[in-house]
């Protein structure tokens, strides 16, 4: 199966072909044809990822580097020693990301065919969706930081295109959508600046950007081979990808060697840093990049506004692409983060704080998708915190499980919104009274939808229980592993960030269960609180079947990493299978044993939070629900709810201290400096006025007074001469004959003058 590795370029190429077909022929294919091409391209990419997984298993999980034909020397500057090939890396980490991205992406594409039915830009939407997959797959398959950065920037571009896809909606909605797209793009540029600096310092330090060279194995593979008392072998490279790079090792193997040797310094010209300090700088800059893409403090503010895009876009961004890029990048760089205690502390603190902050804010939101957006931010905080405490396998495990149940919840919310819109359409065209301010995403207008949309309800319930961490759903296994690893980092390794992360993440887990059941109650329980909810209809099969598929995986996907010591399931499915799989690519991946006390505590905490949420949002409270939440009506909680509703004033603070001063500065630069000073004073007063003075002087005294008068005088002189000469023009033939005779005699005299002069002795 080693030849299967040659298929990895097709993972990117097939969606690229799909988007090109729809780009040039989509208008002629119709919705059915466009959908088949887009979904088919994503589905084929998943099948190729599946073959790569089989090849990894068959070849003993060895990593392989494959060159793209004609691109082996992608960037080559021999004089500067720069050699950056376009290479694909196939190892257990990249295959994990490929399978998650393409499978969840395919389900979302299929759902989107039904959701976007009737949209006038249907082909363009799927061009953007396929392009999103292309760039995400480039990001996770690249064998160097620069290739990863191409995908990194590409998903940022696609998010801009898709978040603002409905930029032309009337009533000011289009402006809000375009503003949200611009906000996402600009905020991510801040994080990308940090990543670019980190990549540049990495190249300066190591002289290469390759993760590993084609003839290298990750240290984890060496350790595994030594433990098995087997010889370490280099992966076999296909003939089109023969090792051709000479010089330094890849950055991660080289970092391992230098860390083991110690005493290395990195010279930056005017100063130098120890290698360990340089690694800390690099990892902190990488963290800044991750806070942008993976929506962590302080750059998480773009993600809630990203709900402006169509719901399949929200699902794709939150579940399978973009926001997972930062977590993947840090897990891929686990050698760096493991080497820097300072950076790991900051990462754990940022992740855990983001988890609790976003979880708290979610409690005060009314928009069904905005609640899920803050939920995503919170869950990404779990993953980032896991990286900070060294639980790289747990971070990836939660990334995978989260992809399924978060995609399910977003697509489920889209089904709810779709049903509400149909209900409102029925009311508006049935002659009934209806609210012109109706918002199909506002949960205050919903209620009782479990009877109107039963299949959506049951699948949404599965996603909610998975996100809340209720056993046996997927979120229980992955979230519990992060909590356990955080606790062990504190207790076993005496690391402060372990204790901090554990406490904050436990609180975040409680908030998760509470706000998700609050959402379940507001959306599905009680009685309909609006005519649109009363007339809501279940979505089409094309939208519901993807929900059922994702609900199934939200229930069972957790068993891919059953912890050791768990009764029955460990014997059936194996123990820590996913962690063992990742160990072949992630050097410092590790697994922890099952802790029944912690698991029981986490589940009981989630159930208590659900019980409290249901007690507050009971049927009686829902029947009397107006524009205020029950927590707003309780004087004990109204202050906290107001803060959560205001999103901790985070956006307000950014507007007051960043956006508003920037706008004031931009207005001053545009109005005062550019228009009044540069345009009015410099252009008009200094340049234009002086130009007019100079031209007036050149026109009147110089041009008219000197030049024109001189030429006019010359003209008058010619007139006088002409008048004098004109008198000889009599018109008589005899006059002209005499003139010719005299002229002839004059010519003869001139010719004979030298002879006459000689004869006369003159």
Written as one string, the DSSP assignment of 215-242 is T---HHHHHHHHHTT----PPPPPGGG-
Q: Tell me the pLDDT band of 663, cut-offs 50, 70 and 90.
A: confident
Kindly state the tokens that stand for 140.
Answer: 């996770």
DSSP 8-state class, residue 116: T
Q: What is the pLDDT of residue 590?
A: 87
**Predicted confidence (pLDDT) per residue in 520-547, tens digit:** 999 999 899 888 889 889 999 999 999 9
Please list the residues that pair with 90 across neighbouring strands: 64
Q: Tell me the pLDDT band of 701, cut-offs 50, 70 and 90.
A: confident
Query: Looking at the predicted structure, is the pLDDT value of residue 386 above 90?
Result: yes
Q: What is the pLDDT of residue 436?
A: 59
Output the average pLDDT for the chain: 88
**Predicted confidence (pLDDT) per residue in 54-75, tens digit:** 999 999 898 999 988 777 778 8
Q: What is the pLDDT of residue 68?
A: 82
Q: Could you tell me if 407 and 372 are in contact, meaning their C-beta atoms sit under 8 angstroms apart?
A: no
Distance of CA 321 to the CA centre of its chain: 8
Mean pLDDT of 462-477: 94
User: Packing angle between helix 368-388 and helix 474-491, nearest 10 degrees?
Assistant: 40
Question: Strand, coil or helix: what is 82?
Answer: strand
* C-alpha–C-alpha distance, residues 337 and 341, integer Å: 7
Run of H or E including 497: helix 496-524
**Predicted confidence (pLDDT) per residue in 310-348, tens digit:** 999 999 998 878 899 999 999 999 999 999 999 999 999
Q: Could you tell me if 524 and 449 are in contact, meaning their C-beta atoms sit under 8 angstroms apart?
A: yes
Query: Helix-strand-coil percent breakdown of the chain, rounded to 5?
Result: 75, 5, 20
Query: Looking at the predicted structure, is the pLDDT value of residue 222 above 60?
Result: no
**Locate tokens 């600009």: which residue?**
186
Q: Tell me the pLDDT band of 242, cut-offs 50, 70 and 90.
A: very low
Q: What is the largest CA-CA distance in the chain?
A: 149
Question: Strand, coil or helix: what is 85?
Answer: coil
Please list the residues that pair with 84 across neighbouring strands: 75
Q: Tell me the pLDDT band of 236, cut-offs 50, 70 and 90.
A: very low
Run of H or E including 265: strand 265-267
Run of H or E including 66: strand 64-67
């Amino acid at each position: 199966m080693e030849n299967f590795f040659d298929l990895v370029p097709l993972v990117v190429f097939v969606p690229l072909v799909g988007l090109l077909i729809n780009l040039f022929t989509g208008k002629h294919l119709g919705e059915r044809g466009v959908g088949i091409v887009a979904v088919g391209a994503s589905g084929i990419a998943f099948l190729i990822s599946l073959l790569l997984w089989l090849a990894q298993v068959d070849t003993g999980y060895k990593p392989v580097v494959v060159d793209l034909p004609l691109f082996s020397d992608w960037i080559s500057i021999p004089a500067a020693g720069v050699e950056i090939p376009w290479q694909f890396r196939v190892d257990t980490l990249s295959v994990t990301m490929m399978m998650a991205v393409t499978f969840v992406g395919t389900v979302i594409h299929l759902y989107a065919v039904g959701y976007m039915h009737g949209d006038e830009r249907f082909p363009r939407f799927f061009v953007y969706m396929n392009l999103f997959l292309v760039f995400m797959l480039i990001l996770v398959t690249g064998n160097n930081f620069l290739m990863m950065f191409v995908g990194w920037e590409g998903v940022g571009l696609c998010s801009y295109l898709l978040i603002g896809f409905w930029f032309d909606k009337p009533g000011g909605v289009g402006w809000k959508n375009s503003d949200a797209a611009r906000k996402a793009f600009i905020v991510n540029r801040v994080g990308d600046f940090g990543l670019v600096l980190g990549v540049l310092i990495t190249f300066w330090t190591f002289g290469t950007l390759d993760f590993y060279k084609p003839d290298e194995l990750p240290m984890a593979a060496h350790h595994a081979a030594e433990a098995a008392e087997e010889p370490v072998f280099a992966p076999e490279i296909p003939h089109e990808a023969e090792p051709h790079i000479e010089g330094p090792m890849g950055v991660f193997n080289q970092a391992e060697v230098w860390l083991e040797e110690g005493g290395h310094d990195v010279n930056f010209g005017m100063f130098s840093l120890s290698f360990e300090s340089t690694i800390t700088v690099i990892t902190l800059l990488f963290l800044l990049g991750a806070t942008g893409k993976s929506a962590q403090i302080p750059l998480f503010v773009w993600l809630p506004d990203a709900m402006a895009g169509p719901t399949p876009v929200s699902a794709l961004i939150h579940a399978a692409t973009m926001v997972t890029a930062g977590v993947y990048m840090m897990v891929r760089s686990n050698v760096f983060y493991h080497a820097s205690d300072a950076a790991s502390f900051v990462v754990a603190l940022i992740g855990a704080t983001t988890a609790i902050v976003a979880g708290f804010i979610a409690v005060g939101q009314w928009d069904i998708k905005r609640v899920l957006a803050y939920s995503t931010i919170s869950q990404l905080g779990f993953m980032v915190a896991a990286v900070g405490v060294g639980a790289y396998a747990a971070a990836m495990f939660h990334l995978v499980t989260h992809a399924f149940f978060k995609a399910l919840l977003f697509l489920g919310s889209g089904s709810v919104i779709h049903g509400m819109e149909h209900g409102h359409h029925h009311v508006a065209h049935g002659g009934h009274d209806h609210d012109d301010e109706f918002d199909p995403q506002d949960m205050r207008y919903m209620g009782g939808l479990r009877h109107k949309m039963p299949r959506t309800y049951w699948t949404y319930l599965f996603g909610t229980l998975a996100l809340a961490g209720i056993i046996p759903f997927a979120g229980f296994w992955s979230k519990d592993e992060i909590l356990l690893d955080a606790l062990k980092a504190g207790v076993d390794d005496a690391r402060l960030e372990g204790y901090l992360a554990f406490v904050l993440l436990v609180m975040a887990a409680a908030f998760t269960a509470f706000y998700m059941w609050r959402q379940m109650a507001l959306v599905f329980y009680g009685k309909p609180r609006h005519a649109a909810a009363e007339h809501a209809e279940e979505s089409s099969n094309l939208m519901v079947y993807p929900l059922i598929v994702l609900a199934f995986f939200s229930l069972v996907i957790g068993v891919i990493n059953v912890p050791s010591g768990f009764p029955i399931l460990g014997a059936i499915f194996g123990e820590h299978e996913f962690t063992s799989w990742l160990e072949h690519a992630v050097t410092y991946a590790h697994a922890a044993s099952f802790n029944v006390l912690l698991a029981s505590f986490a589940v009981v905490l989630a159930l208590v939070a659900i019980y409290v949420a249901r007690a507050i949002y009971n049927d009686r409270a829902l029947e009397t629900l107006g524009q205020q939440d029950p927590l707003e009506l309780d004087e004990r909680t109204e202050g906290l709810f107001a803060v959560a509703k205001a999103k901790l004033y985070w956006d307000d603070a950014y507007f007051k201290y960043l956006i508003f001063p920037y706008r004031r500065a931009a207005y001053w630069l545009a109005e005062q400096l550019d228009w009044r000073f540069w345009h009015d004073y410099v252009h008009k007063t200094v340049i234009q006025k002086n130009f007019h003075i100079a031209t007036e002087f050149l026109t009147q005294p110089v041009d008219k007074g000197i030049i024109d008068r001189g030429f006019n005088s010359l003209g008058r002189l010619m007139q006088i001469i002409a008048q004098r000469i004109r008198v000889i023009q009599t018109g008589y033939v005899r006059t002209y004959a005499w003139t010719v005779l005299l002229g002839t005699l004059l010519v003869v005299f001139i010719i004979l003058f030298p002879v006459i002069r000689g004869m006369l002795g003159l």
